[in-house]
Structures are given as C-alpha cells and as structure tokens.
C-alpha cells in the first residue's frame, strides 16, 4: 500500500497547545498509518513568484505548505471560491457574483498547487483532494503527467444540473470532476445531483448499471462517504470540560434556567436570521417559557471580506436586539449572541450543558456540530437535537426533531417539544443516533475513502458505502 497524499486549501502545522479539529483528526489518522504527505496553503501571500514548499515532519507525517500570490488570492478565495461556488452549491443564487477575473485567479491558483505538488510525488502515491476550492486540481495534475490514483471529496452540497447550469463554465467544472478516479459526496442527494450533471453533459450512457461512470476510456467511481466525528474524543472532552471553570461560570450564570444552544460559523447558509425569528415566535407563542430558557448562539466571524457576511451580521444584531428588547428582564437576557470562538473542548462542555441543540441551516453538506451535540450529551440525561432537514446530517440523525428551517411555526413548536420531552424518549432518541455515529465516525470515513482509492490501483469492483449510514 502506497503513501497517502492529502491536499486541502489551507493547512496548519499541529501545535501542542491546540487539539486538531475533526477533519484534521481523520486525515491525520489516515496519513499516519502509512506515512503520508499533507499539502496546502500555509497562510502566507507574497508579491513575487511563490517559492518551493516548506516541509516539516511531525510524527511520521510530512506537512508541505506553499505561498500564494497576493494579487490572485482575493479573487481565488473570497471571489470565485466563496462568492461564486459557495452560494451556487448551497442554492443561494442571490449571493453569487461571477466574474471572469475571479475564475482566472481560481484556475491560476489551482495550477500553482499542481506545479508545487508534482515534484513531491512518488510513483505509488494515492492522492486525496479536498473541497470546492480545488476542483480543477485533478485536471491540472493529469496535464502534468500524474497517473497515480486521484480522489476528490466535496464537503459541501452539490447542486442539481438545473442549478449548476447558472454557472457560465459549469461544463468545465463537471469535466474537471471526471479527471478523478474517485469522487465522494456527503449524501445520496449530492450523488444524484452529480449524476444529473453527468447525464446532461455526457448522456445517460455514461452512467453504468453498476454505478460507475465512463467518460471515453476513463472510468470513475462516484459514491457517498458521510463524514463523521471522533466519537471517543468528543465524549471525553465534553465529560471533562463540564467541570472546567469557564463552563461552570456559564452554567452558573443561567441561574437554573434551561440552555438552548447553537454553534455555527457566521454564514448566510446557516439559517441564523430565520432561527432568531423562530425563537422570538417561540417566546411569543409560549409565554410560559419567558424567563425560563436562555438561548446561547455562538457565531464566530467568517470571511469578513465578503459583502454578504457583513449584511448577515447586521441582520442578526438587529434580530437579537429586537427579541431582547421585547422580552428581557432585569435579571434575564433571552438571547446571548457571541461573535467569537472558543476552544473545541470548551464548546463540547457548552454542548453537554445544553438541554436543546438548535442546528437549523438552510443548506449544509453535513454539519458536524449536530453530530458533536449528540455525542457530547450525558447518556443518562441527554438533551434534544433540533435539526434542519436540509442538513446532510439529517440523513443519519433521524432521532432528532427534524424541521424545515424556513417554517417559523414548526421550529418554534419543536423548541417547545424539545424542552418538554420526557426522559425515556430523550434516551431512546439519543441511543439510536449514537449507534449510527459510532458506525460512521471520522475514522470510518477516512478508511472507506482510502480503500476506494486502493481499489483504483487494484482494479477491484466498486465499493458501496451508502448502506453504512443507517
């Protein structure tokens, strides 16, 4: 079995003082098994031609970080990646602003990635590319003569062809994805959306009965690989964090009130404005809860250079101010809205202390916070998860209270049901979800995808992983 090479838009060297996030845990566990390379942008922009990658070896894993041109970075990252692909893939056409200059920068940065990566490759490598920032990388590597197995995993949703066709260069994007040997998605819906694009561009005959896709002489495998969390680590962090000073102070400040919590990056896809409106409706419709529940929303700032994010921040501040102005008392604030981040362990402690987890994105590829909320709970007295049906996690977490995030009345009803749910039902829902989360944890995700890449080399039949989600 050859070395695994993972490529992502951004990487950072592990630090003793900081625990890696869920995705990093999964990638690192896969890289450490055979010795591997993690390649990506290190966070530095330069005004000249980027130099050679900086190499660092930690615990058998080689980290290779590159610089990017300052003149291209904004158009590549804030522009094409996050002002074109992100809104389009999340079905938010209003937020999409296409320009040829941005697309050119996107192509150029992907060319730089390929040029800097190729000299580091060995003949028996297996290459795993991550997310929408790097869709053209497979084609760029093939153009430079790379023949090793290439895999790509999309962490966000994939749009149906009728949505994708809005993109002027949608055909090129689909062709870029067919440069890979394995293409992975979060859910069956995303896979079917990809199939709709393949059929539109290449004809129904490209989709084979065994699930493979044939484009000319090239055969690729597209499948569902739902990403998970590190169950044991999250359980341990949550149990330990609940007794730390910062979590104890937060719990003490509730003064016996129930806690409802949301943890989301500040992004219009997360449905935060709709969530705040639903909470206001909940207090209005069920006034017996006034003064008895506190809603804590943690929303770290995200992509502050993109115009849409400044607008949503203003809308949230207005919505929180309106609700607090209507319902607050001298010793109670209905919404605590924080634009800051906390260490992962502290967040797990907050989640464990909550009676209700409120995760209602308008569209999400998966949503790992929903999974972390369930895993962090006390098995003897678990809280209740309210989850959007438009999050990929809803396919697995059927024990949650599933809601349409646009339905204000349904979300407010779910808040009441969650707060009043009896302990036996909470335990039953929790145990059912934990069975799925243990089966589909972060290590299972990396193992299934890397096994699919190995089968490319061995010519084995297609690995079917969809049935693992239930």
Quote the CATH superfamily of domain 231-439: Glycogen Phosphorylase B; (3.40.50.2000)
- Residue range 4-228+442-460 forms a domain whose CATH class is alpha beta
Catalytic: 364? yes
Grouping H, G, I as helix, E, B as strand and the rest as coil, residue 244 is coil
Q: Whats the size of the chain, residue-wise?
A: 470
What is the structure's pLDDT at 465? 38
How far apart are alpha carbons 418 and 403 in whole angstroms? 12
How far apart are alpha carbons 461 and 402 in whole angstroms? 36
Backbone phi and psi for residue 175, each to the nearest 5 degrees, phi listed first? -65, -35
Selected catalytic residue, list 131, 181, 230, 364? 364
What is the structure's pLDDT at 361? 98
Grouping H, G, I as helix, E, B as strand and the rest as coil, residue 37 is strand
| CB neighbourhood size of 324 (10 A) | 16
What is the structure's pLDDT at 391? 98
How far apart are alpha carbons 161 and 202 in whole angstroms? 12
Give me the helix-helix angle, 344-353 and 368-376, nearest 10°.
60
What is the three-state SS of 349-372? HHHHHCCEEEECCCCECCCHHHHH
| CB neighbourhood size of 188 (10 A) | 15
Which is nearest to 359 in space by CA: 345, 342, 372, 348?
372
Split the chain (470 residues) into runs of 10 and give each run's mean pLDDT: 90 65 72 88 94 92 96 95 96 94 98 98 96 98 97 97 98 98 98 98 95 94 96 96 97 97 94 97 98 96 66 91 96 95 94 98 96 98 98 98 98 98 98 97 93 72 38
Which is nearest to 9 in space by CA: 136, 178, 197?
136
Please give the C-alpha separations between residue 245 and each of 77, 170, 240, 280, 350, in angstroms, as whole numbers: 38, 51, 11, 31, 12
Backbone phi and psi for residue 250, each to the nearest 5 degrees, phi listed first? -65, -45
Catalytic: 155? yes
Q: What is the residue extent of each domain of the chain?
A: 4-228+442-460, 231-439
Selected catalytic residue, list 56, 97, 155, 200? 155
What is the structure's pLDDT at 280? 98
Give me the helix-helix angle, 231-241 and 368-376, nearest 10°.
60
Domains 4-228+442-460 and 231-439 share a fold: yes
| CB neighbourhood size of 197 (10 A) | 23
């Amino acid at each position: 079995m050859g070395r695994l090479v993972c490529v992502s838009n951004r990487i950072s060297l592990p630090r003793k003082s900081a625990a890696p996030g869920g995705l990093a845990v999964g990638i690192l566990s896969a890289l450490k098994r055979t010795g591997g390379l993690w390649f990506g942008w290190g966070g530095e922009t330069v005004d000249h031609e980027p130099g050679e990658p900086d190499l660092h070896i930690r615990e058998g894993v080689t980290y290779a970080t590159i610089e990017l041109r300052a003149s291209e970075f904004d158009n590549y990252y804030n522009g094409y990646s996050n002002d074109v692909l992100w809104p389009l893939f999340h079905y938010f056409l209003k937020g999409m602003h296409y320009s040829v200059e941005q697309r050119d920068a996107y192509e150029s940065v992907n060319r730089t990635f390929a040029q800097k990566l190729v000299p580091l490759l060995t003949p028996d490598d297996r290459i795993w590319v991550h997310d929408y920032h790097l869709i053209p990388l497979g084609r760029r590597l093939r153009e430079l003569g790379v023949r090793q197995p290439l895999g790509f995993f999309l962490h966000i949703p994939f749009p149906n062809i009728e949505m994708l066709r809005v993109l002027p260069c949608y055909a090129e994007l689909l062709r870029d994805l067919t440069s890979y040997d394995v293409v992975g998605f979060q859910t069956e819906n995303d896979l079917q959306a990809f199939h709709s694009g393949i059929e539109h561009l290449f004809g129904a005959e490209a989709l084979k009965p065994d699930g493979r896709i044939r484009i000319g002489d090239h055969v690729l495998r597209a499948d569902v690989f739902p990403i998970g969390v590190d169950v044991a680590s999250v359980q341990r962090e949550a149990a330990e964090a609940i007794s730390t000073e910062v979590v104890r102070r937060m719990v003490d400040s509730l003064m016996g009130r129930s806690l409802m919590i949301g943890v989301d990056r500040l992004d219009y896809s997360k449905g935060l404005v709709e969530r705040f409106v639903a909470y206001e409706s909940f207090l209005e419709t069920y006034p017996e809860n006034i003064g008895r529940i506190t809603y804590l929303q943690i929303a770290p700032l995200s992509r502050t250079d993109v115009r849409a994010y400044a607008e949503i921040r203003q809308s949230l501040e207005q919505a929180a101010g309106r609700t607090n102005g209507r319902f607050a008392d001298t010793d109670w604030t209905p919404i605590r809205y924080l634009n800051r981040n906390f260490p992962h362990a502290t967040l797990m402690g907050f989640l464990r202390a909550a009676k209700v987890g409120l995760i209602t994105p308008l569209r999400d590829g998966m949503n790992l916070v929903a999974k972390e909320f369930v895993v962090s709970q006390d098995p003897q007295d678990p809280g209740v998860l309210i989850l959007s049906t438009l999050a990929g996690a809803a396919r697995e977490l059927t024990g949650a209270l599933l809601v349409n995030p646009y339905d204000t009345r349904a979300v407010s009803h779910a808040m009441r049901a969650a707060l009043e749910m009896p302990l036996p039902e909470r335990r039953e829902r929790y145990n059912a979800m934990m069975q799925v989360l243990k089966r589909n944890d972060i290590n299972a995700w990396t193992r299934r995808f890397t096994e699919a890449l190995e089968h490319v080399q061995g010519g084995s039949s297609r690995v079917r992983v969809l049935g693992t989600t239930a």
